[in-house]
Amino acid sequence: MDNSNEHAGRKALVIGAASGIGWASARALATDGCQITLADRNIDGARERVAELGDPHTAAPVEVTDEASVQALFDQTGPLDVVVNCAGFSNVGLITDMPVEDFRAVIDVCLNGAFIVAKHAGRTLRKGGVLVSISSLNGRQPAAGMSAYCAAKAGLSMLTQVAALELGPRGIRVNAVAPGFVHTPLTAPAAAVPGVVEEYVENTALGRAGTPKDIAEAVRYLCSPSASWLTGEVLDINGGAHMKRYPDVMGHVMKLAAQ
């Protein structure tokens, strides 16, 4: 499908755009004609990406856990047609061992931050606008040692549906993409643990991990007028991994630590 003209003239904000899925999504939308604000807590990284894209794209700092920072970002962009929120991170630890502050840190970025972004996106998006969040396979598939991330992404899936209900009367669509294991800077520590990627691939129908471009193409579609009758959806993009089981990340980490 060729979406090359569907985004022409539209204004978009991509949060978490300095690397990984956020950068791939920003690049795809820019290629299709969107004017992008690339926002990230790593403002230097965002500026480097803008330099690659050139005019009329811009960079902006944001910390999604800080509502004042998010509001300032939306005040800066003005009315928008597209918002893509890719901010997130994870940690690993058994529930009985994990400090509460470590659990809260993941929830704060992946769920509370998503709520803050949705709140201000809902106030800023034009009629017919689109909000897309990046959820995860872990929103539906549990993994030992990943309680905070799994809980946050499961919550994000339901937040997506509630936002779709509330914003639908204004013609605003709200969806999410739920990737499986994708090679990004975020997943690099897990990928460096022997056995994790191999076990994921073994439990994936298509026999490979994902790339940021795989996810960006789904984001591109959900943001386009071609998806104009699609809202409240959490789209699994994982090579079929949801049909099998998640790798034993914690087990592989413990084996590595015991060496």
Quote helix, strand, coil % in the chain, to nearest 5.
Answer: 50, 20, 35
For residue range 132-155, list pLDDT tens digits in order: 999 999 999 999 999 999 999 999
Domain for residue 156, yes or no?
yes
For residue range 89-138, list pLDDT tens digits in order: 999 999 999 999 999 999 999 999 999 999 999 999 999 999 999 999 99
Residue 5 confidence (pLDDT): 63
Domain for residue 196, yes or no?
yes
Domain count, the chain: 1
Q: Could you give the angle at the alpha carbon of 156 between the alpha carbons of 150 and 158, nearest 5°?
A: 110
Q: Are 124 and 167 in contact (CB under 8 A)?
A: no
CATH code of the domain in which 51 resides: 3.40.50.720
Domain for residue 243, yes or no?
yes
Catalytic (active-site) positions: 149, 153
For residue range 202-232, list pLDDT tens digits in order: 999 999 999 999 999 999 999 999 999 999 9
pTM of the model: 0.94
DSSP 191-239: HTSTTHHHHHHHT-TTSS-B-HHHHHHHHHHHHSGGGTT--S-EEEEST
Domain for residue 4, yes or no?
no
Domain that holds residue 202: 11-258
Q: Which residues pair with 39 in a beta bridge?
A: 15, 60
